[in-house]
Amino acid sequence: MAEILTERRDHRGMATIMARKGIDAARIGTALAIEAPTSPACRRNAEGLILLGTGPGNWLASADNADPFWAERLRERLDGLASVSDQSGAYVGYRLSGEGARTVLQRGLSIDLHPDAFGPGAALTSAIAHIGVVLWMVDAASYDLALYRSYADSFHHWLHQMIDTL
């Protein structure tokens, strides 16, 4: 059975990054000391920065235990390369893990989460129960999700209905 979805209240920093015209993923990656994904994928660097490919030239950056100036430092590192918008207050992060995690998520997604199609390091932007989410697989049994904070109550309601049916 899936563990209850855990809200990440660890001061998770989140920011959207949009490359400027003519700037490729390699230049963004060099500036951030990370391999910037060119597809829906998740990468983590030695500093704990997570970069999720959300579209061509677009990423969602995330970091655990981010201080209030995290996004500003990210903006400075990408000066002239990309626009950075702090989303830390807009998104809420969750982790769903356990034996039934994939089953629960699959009930709300129209995207295949079978291990052959979606394994650790994979990411997606989609909707679960009509709620926009960014989802990435952390390891063989854990998924992290980010969704707009204003939809958290609706998402909890849907989630608990799905867990109750396992």
What are the tens digits of pLDDT across the range 42-73?
999 998 999 999 999 999 999 988 999 999 99
- Taking the whole predicted model, whether its pTM rises above 0.85 is answered as yes
pLDDT at 2: 46
- Taking the chain (166 residues) in runs of 10, the rounded mean pLDDT of each run is 55 92 98 97 94 97 91 97 96 87 92 92 95 94 92 91 84
CATH numbers and ranges of domains, the chain: 10-86 (3.30.70.1520), 90-164 (3.30.1360.120)
Cβ neighbours around 97 below 10 Å, total: 18
pLDDT at 141: 87
Cα→Cα distances 39→1, 56, 90, 123, 125, Å: 31, 8, 24, 9, 11
Task: Determine the longest span between alpha carbons in the chain, in angstroms.
Answer: 50
Give which of 100, 113, 99, 83 is closest to 19, Cα–Cα: 83
How far is C-alpha 71 from the geometric centre of its chain's CA atoms?
16
CA distance linking residue 97 with residue 138, whole number of Å: 9
